Every structure is written in structure tokens, then in C-alpha cells.
Chain A
């Protein structure tokens, strides 16, 4: 298995633009998590899905953030419009029955 795949690995965009981050979880895992890493707040949980259904989105900072999981093998995190304070590393992680999370390599987002 290739592990959790995230794309792009790096994204540089201008303020106001739409940003879409993508994640392919490990096959067979029924949980998917989106996290954000910042210097100030460490690892923050944004939203998580169970069997493609959003369970808890209380960590999503604002309405500018949205996430979808149309099927078991794909999820997106969208920011529209993006702002400089959204600059961070965004991790996707998937989890199976052992509740052990497998993290993707992350997407480093820079909003100028």
C-alpha cells in the first residue's frame, strides 16, 4: 500500500484565491481526518469523516473552509477565499479498526 497520499505537496497562492487540497486514504480505512499544523497551535483537528460521512467539523475555523468525501478513496479540503493566516501545513490521516492513524506527507500552503 502506498500509504496516505496528499496533493499538492506545496501550494503557493495569492490572497483571495480558492485552494483545494486532496487526500487519498489507505484502502479499507473507514475514518479520515484533516489536521492543520501551525507554530502557534500545533496540530489542530479540523474535521473528520467516518464511512464518508462528516462526523465532527467543529474544528473548521470559518465558513471559508469546507471538506467533502464523495467516496471512500478521496477527500478534499477547500479554502475559499484564502487568506495569509491560512498558511500552514495541512495533514490528512486515515484510520482503521486499531484506531491508529496513518498520516500523509502533508501539504504546505503559503498564502501571500
Chain B
């Protein structure tokens, strides 16, 4: 059983605040780590895929880092906006093909 844990479970911030949350995953048999953004009443959409220790990815105000040796990834949002409100899921892959998802961090950005 692969445990993928995300923290915190939920987060409320004010518009303009910067925030970050964590995904922890097994450090053995690592193949890839994904971040997804899931808005209410929509389907999850891929944000980043990271495969190498030390990877850093950035898309606008959102960025992510990866540490495969210790088994964690951080997602950062700089200057949060109300439209950033969503659940952020991480998913861990070994090379077996199946992704194991965390339970997500639900971010609410208040105007």
C-alpha cells in the first residue's frame, strides 16, 4: 500500500497572501510526482509533472519543488487570488503505471 499524504487538509488565506502546502510520498521506487488542480464542479487538471530529484516547475504564480530522497514535494502560490481557490491534489507514480492520489489540500482565497 502506497501512502500519499497531503497537508494541510484545508487552508484559508486572504487575497495577496502567499501560501504553500506539502505532499509526502514513499521515497522508494519513485517514477513521477504530479500536481493537479481541481476546481469545484469541474474535473482535475494537471499542473505539473516532476520526475527528477531537485526538479522545480513554475506556471505563472504557482511553482512546485521535488525531493525524491526524502519523499516530499511543495506547491507554492505567490500572491493568491480568489480564482486560485480549488483543491490541489498530488499523485505519486512508481513505474507500474497506476497513480496513487493524496486526499488533497483545499485552498480558499478570500477577497
Show the binding face of A for B, using Cβ within 8 Å. Answer: 31, 33, 42-43, 45, 48, 50, 55-56, 91, 93, 95, 98-106
Contacts and interface: CB of A to CB of B under 8 A. Distances in A.
Contact of A101 (B31, B42, B91, B104): B91
Nearest to B104: A42
Contact of A100 (B34, B42, B43, B103): B34
Interface of B: 31-32, 34, 36, 42-46, 49, 89, 91, 93, 97-99, 101, 103-104
Contact of A99 (B44, B99, B101): B99
Contacts of A100: 34, 46, 49
Contacts, number: 49
Contacts of B103: 42
A99 B45 contact: no
B26 to A, nearest CB: 15
Nearest to B45: A103
Contacts of A102: 46
Contact of B97 (A31, A43, A91, A106): A31
A46 B97 CA distance: 15
